[in-house]
Amino acid sequence: EPEVTQTPSHQVTQMGQEVILRCVPISNHLYFYWYRQILGQKVEFLVSFYNNEISEKSEIFDDQFSVERPDGSNFTLKIRSTKLEDSAMYFCASTERTATNEKLFFGSGTQLSVL
Amino acid sequence: AQTVTQSQPEMSVQEAETVTLSCTYDTSENNYYLFWYKQPPSRQMILVIRQEAYKQQNATENRFSVNFQKAAKSFSLKISDSQLGDTAMYFCAFMKPGNQFYFGTGTSLTVIP
């Protein structure tokens, strides 16, 4: 079965540094998402992306965050200047979003630790 | 705004027994989708089962089934013949077509040998 691929699986960074989390969505999917999950808490929506632009974003997704689909296959999340509270598991997800196939497929996540 | 509530933070069940996880949601929409996702210790999010709101028939996937009560806005997950590998966090999720997913706070299920 096709799957969403995320790299790296773990990322450790110093506070204030920039990080880029990478995702390769399923090839025929058109809608892409980033979610995050702070340890022990629920999964929170960050941003959705369609047709090369952000379609929706949450309050969490402030000016420190940006997304990009640079080459038609990768979908990246950049955090410009990381804070301690950005430590979380970050999930990329994609969906085909046809009328009969509303399923969100998640990647295995990138665990970001900000020191 | 859509909200999803899981009122059972932790549950346990004996191996081979049946357990039901509760989920309620709040929405003014008529057409939407509901999901249960499983998150094992590896923290990967795995789709367990999906229900379209316009379908009256409850979805089933092998040992997993749902009890979807649209009027009550309730969407519970029943796991039959529980297995040790079912031990995980289970998240209920709501999605309105063309919109983001909303997740509940999760239920931690432990299957006891």
Q: How far is A82 from chain B (nearest CA, A)?
A: 22
Q: Which residues pair with A113 in a beta bridge?
A: A12
Banded model confidence at residue A98, pLDDT cuts 50, 70, 90: low
The tokens describing B72, both together, are 């009550």
Q: What is the mean pLDDT of residues B10-21?
A: 97
Q: What pLDDT is stored for residue B43 in this prediction? A: 82
User: How close does chain A come to B103, measured CA to CA in Å?
Assistant: 6
CB A20 within 8 A of CB A89: no
Burial class (CB in 10 A: 0-12, 13-18, 19+), B84: exposed
Extract the runs of DSSP E, i.e. beta strands, from B3-106: 3-5, 10-14, 19-21, 24-26, 33-39, 46-52, 60-61, 64-69, 74-79, 88-95, 101-103
Tell me the DSSP string of B63-83.
Answer: TEEEEEETTTTEEEEEE-S--
CB atoms within 10 A of CB B15: 13
B73: left (phi over 0), alpha (psi -120 to 50) or beta: left
Q: Does residue A37 belong to the interface with chain B, where contact is any CB pair within 8 Å? A: yes
Beta strand B46-52 with B60-61: parallel, antiparallel or unpaired? unpaired
List, in sequence order, every residue forming a beta bridge with A114; answer none if it has no partner. Answer: A13
Partner B contacted by A30 (CB < 8 A): no
| The pLDDT of residue A73 is above 60 | yes
Residue-averaged pLDDT of chain A: 90
Any A CB within 8 A of B2 CB: no
The pLDDT of residue B78 is: 98
Q: Would you place residue B98 in the very low, low, confident or very high pLDDT band (cuts 50, 70, 90)?
A: low
Q: Which of residues 82-101 of B touch A (CB under 8 A)?
A: 91, 93, 95, 97-101
* pLDDT over 80 at B87, yes or no: yes
- Chain B's closest residue to A109, CA to CA, is B44
pLDDT of residue B9: 93
> How deeply is A13 buried, as exposed, middle or buried, from its count of CB atoms within 10 A (0-12, 13-18, 19+)?
middle
